[in-house]
């Protein structure tokens, strides 16, 4: 785990027990088995959906993207505002909103694919 990812785990400690896993040349940040954050090139991206995406857009932040062949692909993770890393209370708010987006995305999946099934403490 690189220093930035270790630092993020400290910053988000108010959110609860978190795990970082290496993936795709970066790291995923997980809570209760759901990925709510993505770290690529020492940049933090948080899970976004229709409910919390306007907060990212209002700050002029961009979604994570990668290239597949000649196509630009985007996923539902948006660059986190840098200033939240200096305020753990605000960082926790953004992380909780990202985790809530991850929960909503998980709930939209067919029951057999969900990480959090009804009655399992979700």
What CATH number did the domain enclosing 89 receive?
3.30.1460.30
Is 90 exceeded by the pLDDT of residue 112?
Answer: no
Let me know if residue 122 belongs to a domain. no
Q: Give the residue-averaged pLDDT of 52-76.
A: 94
Q: What is the pLDDT of residue 80?
A: 98
Report residue 97 CA to chain centroid gap.
9
The answer to whether residue 52 scores a pLDDT higher than 90 is yes
Q: Is 119 part of any domain? A: no
What's the rounded mean pLDDT across residues 73-100?
96
- 96 lies in some domain: yes
Between CA 91 and CA 18 the distance in angstroms is: 14
The answer to whether 98 and 44 have CB atoms below 8 angstroms apart is no
Print the domain residue range for 87.
Answer: 3-109
Instruction: Please provide residue 39's backbone torsions phi and psi, each rounded to the nearest 5 degrees.
Output: -120, 120
Give me the number of domains the chain comprises: 1
| Sheet of 63-68, strand order | 19-23, 26-31, 34-40, 43-47, 71-79, 63-68
User: Considering the domain boundaries, does residue 11 fall inside one?
Assistant: yes
């Amino acid at each position: 785990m690189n220093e930035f990812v270790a630092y993020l785990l400290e910053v988000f400690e108010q959110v609860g027990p978190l795990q970082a896993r290496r993936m795709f040349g970066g790291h995923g940040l997980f809570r209760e088995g759901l990925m709510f954050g993505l770290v690529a090139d020492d940049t933090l991206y948080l899970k976004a959906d229709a409910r919390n995406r306007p907060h990212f857009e209002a700050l002029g932040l961009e979604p994570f993207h990668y290239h597949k062949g000649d196509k630009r692909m985007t996923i539902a993770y948006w660059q986190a505002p840098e200033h939240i890393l200096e305020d753990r209370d605000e960082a926790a708010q953004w992380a909780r909103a990202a985790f809530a987006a991850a929960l909503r995305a998980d709930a939209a999946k067919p029951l057999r694919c969900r990480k959090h099934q009804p009655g399992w403490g979700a």
